[in-house]
Structure 1
């Protein structure tokens, strides 16, 4: 009887270990391919953001009346991120979040979903299959200093355009000539879009390496602030991750320096891989509020 009891206890223990191991395996498998469930947490950029302006226009979230007046229909429940980095942090830290960011700013901390079956890549922006893209512009007044003009020449040169390409953006001129260093010296202030800022920092660093007589300061804010600062003369060059408005063009001359895609991003644990343009519009206008409705 004692031997039988020991055998029975051993069998029960074996069954218990098997159940625990099976549960762990099931749990790990579920986590690896899990899909967010429950209320969708929409994260959007602040008013004045060029990325927001381009995003709402491209997805039809912005509407116009007969007089041409624009209305941004982004849901009032959206969480507002005032910089690209803040957007990425919000989506990274929330399994149910959805947002958007510059393609060149992407990292493994978030996941870009396909839109209408097309992956968010520079190649697909170029071939037209991924249609969510916008220009990166700099804007200047007519009385540009010699130092600021020299920095702009560098950005548009083969050297500057290679830096743009190397950082995941699409250059506007693949036949540009090599930069020819001049005698310019002085200080240059560049201000505006947080989406353009990362690549502008790279351009600044490389430029100062070949022209040590010019010091470039990059100030991060948003596209509208950048255009206002350039127009008012508080910076030499404004940055915008969108086209300039007709009003802005009255005082400023835009120059396109790159093309960038806008990625629709979710938490890496979200199993959603593809969304249609209509689904994205529905989510950001508040018509779709639960992940179960986009499975």
Structure 2
């Protein structure tokens, strides 16, 4: 009986050692298995626009027109929050989100061996970054001007930095004109979180103002600003030539990275830029090939 128990114990230890070796390989970044589930954002999303441009997923055809080559099999989400929830619920999913909005529900991958972080965006080693723009039309109310002055001030840019975004400098200490009135801000779901923080900080200084933040996407934000439906449009990308021609004036309020994210159960920790492009264009379809 003792002999049988000893043999069983030895087999258990051996299996455990083999499993341990496998665990070590995974911890060192072994590839996951299974078909890749590509998750992207909706048309009009500034994050999608910046992502496909930065990774070369968007290319020009012979006529000079920009073509988005995102695979037709991609699952489409309509906000940063839904993107993270979708990736968090699918072991084989891959998507992308604003770095400033990233939370612990998903895992951010290193790209070309560089970690996605505000520090690496500042030092230029993580190149997957884009501007956060606000845009106004020709008529700007006094209270809107005051709020924008706050955003660009030392006080406003401190809020930007505190929330994980990258300041591009500031205009110094803020002194409010205490203007009265309502400000409607509309657009990008990526810019919305920091805009809510800026709103909160500004209203503590100027209680005479009211601010309504409407979350949608960058293109809707720019259209709303052009049509006078909002005072400030938000875009997580550069403005298009057509938007500038329509009379919008852009102002960069921060820089933000784009994090490529996967499920925490995915053992892949790093992808090259080319691999990301191949995944999102449908050329690389299985995690076993992402090594």
Q: Aligned equivalents of 1:96 and 1:252: distance in 2?
A: 41
Aligned partners of 1:265, 1:14: CA distance in 2, in Å?
46
CA contact 1:35–1:269 (8 Å) conserved in 2: no
| Residue in structure 2 matched with residue 268 of structure 1 by the alignment | 264
TM-score by length of 1: 0.91
Residue 248 of structure 1 is matched in structure 2 by 243
- Partner in structure 2 of residue 147 of structure 1: 143
Partner of 2:112: 116
Q: Does 1:72 align with 2:32?
A: no
Pick aligned residue for 1:98 from 75, 84, 94? 94
2:215 corresponds to 1:220: yes
Matches within 5 A, 1:195-206: 195-206=190-201
Q: What SS class does the counterpart of residue 170 from structure 1 fall into?
A: coil
| 8 Å Cα contact 1:124-1:130 kept in structure 2 | yes
Q: Which residue does 1:47 correspond to in 2?
A: 43
Whole-Å separation in 1 of the counterparts to 2:17 and 2:91: 21
Q: 2:277 aligns with which of 278, 281, 289?
A: 281
More displaced, 18-27 or 229-238? 18-27
Identify unmatched segments of 5+ residues in structure 2: none
TM-score (norm 2): 0.92
Q: Which runs of 5+ in 1 are unaligned?
A: 1-7
d(CA) in 2 for partners of 1:113 and 1:264? Answer: 6
| Larger displacement relative to structure 2 (62-71 or 249-258) | 62-71
Query: What whole-Å deviation, never above 9, does each CA across 1:203-225 have from its counterpart, x for those lacking one?
Result: 01111111101011111000000
CA distance in 2, matches of 1:281, 1:26: 35
* Count of residue pairs brought into register by the alignment: 286
Aligned-residue offset at 1:65: 2.2
Query: RMSD in angstroms over aligned alpha carbons?
Result: 1.9
Q: Which residue of 1 aligns with 2:175?
A: 180
